[in-house]
Amino acid sequence: MTSSKDNLLTYQLIAGCSAILYSSIVLLILILPLYYLEGVVKGFISFSFYQLKMGDMLIKLPELERAISLSIPITLNSLFLLLLGLNSVTYWIYRKHSPVLARLMFPTSMATVFSTTFFYMTHTVYILKVVESLTGEYVVTNSAGILILGQVILKSSPLANMMISPTPFLSLSILNAVLSTMWILRIYMKLSSQSIRNRDQK
């Protein structure tokens, strides 16, 4: 009995740590600025908010507004997964196993696989497209000729470099889903074996 409980606690700890790692990284990328712009257009861009200025004028871009809206479900999913992960580790510290957490973490972890794909699509289709369009020289043509206003220089944060390829995050989300699946399967295997033993005793 103790061995079985220890086994479940191990699954709980590993799944909890994986959930904390994945959700923490995603939340950092969602909240912290990914790109900084200097020059004619100044400001920063993140998934959750942005601020761009040309002189004293604030710039609003529909693509970035859309990216913010699309990031809301990803943020909520990551926050919930982080909460589940923290609770799983806390329960493990007190040597308590929680099947309820396993049942909640299973669908949430499965959702992260889809949200990770959606996450990268949002970055590629909206944010990266805007960033590429903003960088470079700003040239105005009028009756006096061509007037070069200046350049916009792009600086990427280390978090933005993590968005170059979807493979690391997708792999981490799949690993997270696999671990939560193993945990929930282990619980049902235990329940099944207990049911068989009870039936044999009768």
Give the sheet arrangement for strand 41-45, strand by strand.
57-59, 50-54, 41-45, 35-39, 145-156, 136-142
Q: Is residue 199 part of a domain?
A: no
Of 62-66, 131-135, 193-197, give the range with the top mean pLDDT. Answer: 62-66
pLDDT tens for each residue of 81-116: 999 999 999 999 998 888 899 999 999 999 988 888
CATH number at residue 66: 1.20.140
CA atoms within 13 A on the CB side of 10: 8
Q: Residue 199 has what pLDDT?
A: 65
Q: Residue 149 has what pLDDT?
A: 59
Q: pLDDT class for 193, splitting at 50, 70, 90?
A: confident
Can you give the pTM of this predicted structure? 0.83
Q: Residue 163 has what pLDDT?
A: 75
Q: How far apart are CA 143 and CA 59, in angstroms?
A: 26
Q: Residue 174 has what pLDDT?
A: 92
Q: How far apart are CA 139 and CA 15, in angstroms?
A: 53
CA 48 to chain centre: 12
The whole domain housing 178 covers 2-194
How many angstroms separate the Cα of 146 from the Cα of each of 38, 41, 143, 149, 151?
22, 19, 8, 10, 15
Q: Residue 182 has what pLDDT?
A: 92
For 46, the 3-state DSSP assignment is coil
For residue 194, pLDDT beyond 80: no
For residue 130, pLDDT beyond 80: yes
Per the CB < 8 A criterion, the answer to whether 41 and 54 are in contact is: yes
pLDDT tens for each residue of 13-61: 999 999 999 999 999 989 999 999 888 888 899 988 899 888 788 888 8
Q: Is residue 63 part of a domain?
A: yes
Our count of domains for the chain comes to 1
Q: Which two tokens stand for residue 6?
A: 């220890």
Q: Determine the average pLDDT of the residues in 143-167.
A: 72
Q: Residue 106 has what pLDDT?
A: 92
Provide the pairing of β-strand 57-59 with 35-39.
Answer: unpaired
Q: Is residue 34 part of a domain?
A: yes
